[in-house]
Structure 1
């Protein structure tokens, strides 16, 4: 009975709670203050404040694993090099260290660039710089040797190595919930198995698979199209043509798919600067689809889509920052004749740096900017500034209108104020 109650509580907790991401962090080459509480994760802002002053005289090299736990770091024989480095600082839990590193890049006005393996082994010594590398597999011993090779190359450089992961606690709790699901399935063998699907992510590749509860595998329909200057990922495209019949309106829908993995092309508004405008072209089974990106106050805006010589305009103002990639579960645009064009599980990333290619398998797209978020940083600052100005204007008008008005009630016990009357001569 206890097992049933605990299992139900864990299932309910897992279905309605967003698990935090608190992987461990190992910092080599510097001694930092110990954590205030070993049972509480360090906040991202506090961790950023620890790293910020170190960049003035040091070079920061950050290594990210896909998943890392304190138990992995305590593995005997996995990290012979990391165990011998002194000084070092270890934090068992840091809340989203990726956000801390991203905040440093945002403050410096730089774009996060993930180095390739060969470039990491030949890094030049550059103080006040941040270098990033993402491990693709879970071979911890090989990763330790790789970090040793990078450190030997920078032996005479004031460098700090930071070793962490994108996630930890979320993965651990998900594994725990999976074990609970197995227990519940064993206790209820007659339960009907249902298919579980997960919302596609932009960073997924076409070789990913959805695993069903019954153990079978199903290939996803997400298609990732690459170009040296950008990436587009989508599930499907639905074109709905409006057909009016009397007082009723019907829609004839067509499912459109890209013609191939190399069906993405890109055209710049100005060949000398990609930030002045970009047009994506996707070759589909019913003709090319054009997605226009226009620069607006440091951000990208999607003003329109063109398909079969028809212009489709989104009803919402779709903005997103140039330091992000655009992600939308369903992007719908409308034409003047009532037709609709919807892109499902649509994601898009534009590579701004000339020395980076999106065809590189080590390239990682920028963080997602969801299409439900319409406020850009510039728009938020403008609204905040206007609110302050309106408040000051209202305060000033109030003070101006109250000038010369007596706000105190007269008291009958007080004598009359003396008045000087001019004497006529």
Structure 2
């Protein structure tokens, strides 16, 4: 049985690939117990319960800085205000603080809204409320001045402030270095220009706009990601590749065509029920070769991507693509196949659906929700393979156990049984 348990443990351990993200967190406005050491990791569930208990009698303000590190907090000249506030508590490693904040919003059945600068400076004191703000730059001195201005406006209020990052900075640095290396290899300039289109009137339902989008001319100097906006959703992607199957005898060839959004009004949304967005959404991208429809169907509290429609042809993904409605969808590459053998691939695809009427994705301060990465979840093929391997390993372990136990008497002798008869050779 030990072999069976070890085999199942190895299978389970091999499928665990999530590495905890542990950015630093600075808390002031209340006295909290310090961590036992700088190496202690505060678990996400413990941090959530801590914030939940504090919210009963306090107001919570959370500041997120995408590139904050423990080294940044040791800057003597950057944080004049933070170094003078008392009481304050510093945790060097907290597992997914942004997930804890999102969970608190979900428990209260509220939408997590990223506040604007003007809203933060005019907050009113209200206990048992949460406010979040995202810094868009890495100017630590400006952050310190802004947090001081917000705190001075709530001077006589029982408020708790948190200053942290979205995720672990090591991963951000690795991604940044990788981008710089890719730019150096391709010979691209380090700065790019973007154009934004604005209108004086408020966008209506059904209107769309393109933000941070430069018309693509297949030049290596163009920005790699195209961001498309709509009042009820936002979508970004790198490129779309349409591969048409061309059979020639026994061989099969593919004719690949790069597709790009057509221009200013490239994104629209189609609702299955106009009164309730939760019943189904279709993202429609107006491309150079016609509209591309991405269907989102609601399934048990999640969005599922069952099919894509392009040039009156239905493309179905082979993997089960889904994500929670409290998240945005992020995937390195989504590939769907038609019954004729053609395939459609969307690279660096990100989608976010706005479910609250008071929020518009056209707002430049709108922050998409946390990513649900398709690469980090098991596909049906991998799940079946793991299940099959676990059964085979269990049978192998059972067989080895039975083989090793052969010849051993596992029964205990009974005291009432007669003594065994021993035949003694007669003496001559």
What is the TM-score when the length of structure 2 is the normalising length? 0.70
Give, in angstroms, the shift of residue 255 of structure 1: 1.4
| Alpha-carbon distance in structure 1 between the residues aligned to 2:40 and 2:369 | 29
Q: Does residue 1:318 correspond to 2:333, yes or no?
A: no
Q: Does residue 1:294 correspond to 2:294, yes or no?
A: no
Give, in angstroms, the shift of residue 81 of structure 1: 2.8
Give, in angstroms, the shift of residue 111 of structure 1: 3.4
Over the aligned positions, Cα root-mean-square deviation in angstroms equals 3.5
Give, in angstroms, the shift of residue 174 of structure 1: 5.2
Q: Does residue 1:57 correspond to 2:57, yes or no?
A: yes
Q: Which runs of 5 or more residues in structure 1 are unaligned?
A: 1-16, 183-192, 198-204, 209-216, 381-407, 416-425
| Alpha-carbon distance in structure 1 between the residues aligned to 2:299 and 2:293 | 19
| Alpha-carbon distance in structure 2 between the residues aligned to 1:243 and 1:413 | 84
Q: Does residue 1:371 correspond to 2:366, yes or no?
A: no
Q: Which moved more, 1:99-108 or 1:56-65?
A: 99-108
| Alpha-carbon distance in structure 2 between the residues aligned to 1:332 and 1:155 | 54
Q: Does residue 1:146 correspond to 2:149, yes or no?
A: no
Q: Does residue 1:40 correspond to 2:43, yes or no?
A: no
Structure 1 counterpart SS, 2:296: strand
Q: 1:21–1:170: 8 Å Cα contact kept in structure 2?
A: no
Q: Which runs of 5 or more residues in structure 2 are unaligned?
A: 1-16, 189-210, 215-219, 384-410, 419-428
Give, in angstroms, the shift of residue 93 of structure 1: 3.5
Give, in angstroms, the shift of residue 288 of structure 1: 0.8
Q: Which moved more, 1:93-102 or 1:267-276?
A: 93-102
Deviations 1:71-127 (Å, cap 9, x if unpaired)? 433434433332333222222333443233234334444432211111212223332
What is the TM-score when the length of structure 1 is the normalising length? 0.71
Give, in angstroms, the shift of residue 143 of structure 1: 1.9
| Alpha-carbon distance in structure 1 between the residues aligned to 2:177 and 2:279 | 48
| Alpha-carbon distance in structure 2 between the residues aligned to 1:264 and 1:177 | 32
Q: Which moved more, 1:220-229 or 1:291-300?
A: 220-229
Say if 1:273 and 1:92 are closer, same or farther in 2 by CA, change over 3 A: same
Say if 1:74 and 1:250 are closer, same or farther in 2 by CA, change over 3 A: closer
Give, in angstroms, the shift of residue 60 of structure 1: 0.8
| Alpha-carbon distance in structure 2 between the residues aligned to 1:113 and 1:287 | 35
Q: 2:332–2:375: 8 Å Cα contact kept in structure 1?
A: no
Q: 1:102–1:112: 8 Å Cα contact kept in structure 2?
A: yes
| Alpha-carbon distance in structure 2 between the residues aligned to 1:411 and 1:136 | 80
Q: Does residue 1:271 correspond to 2:274, yes or no?
A: yes
Deviations 1:40-59 (Å, cap 9, x if unpaired)? 34333333332221111111
Say if 1:367 and 1:107 are closer, same or farther in 2 by CA, change over 3 A: same
Q: 1:318–1:374: 8 Å Cα contact kept in structure 2?
A: no
Deviations 1:155-200 (Å, cap 9, x if unpaired)? 333211111223565179759999xx99xxxxxxxxxx85599xxx
| Alpha-carbon distance in structure 1 between the residues aligned to 2:98 and 2:324 | 18
| Alpha-carbon distance in structure 2 between the residues aligned to 1:345 and 1:173 | 19
Q: Does residue 1:283 correspond to 2:286, yes or no?
A: yes
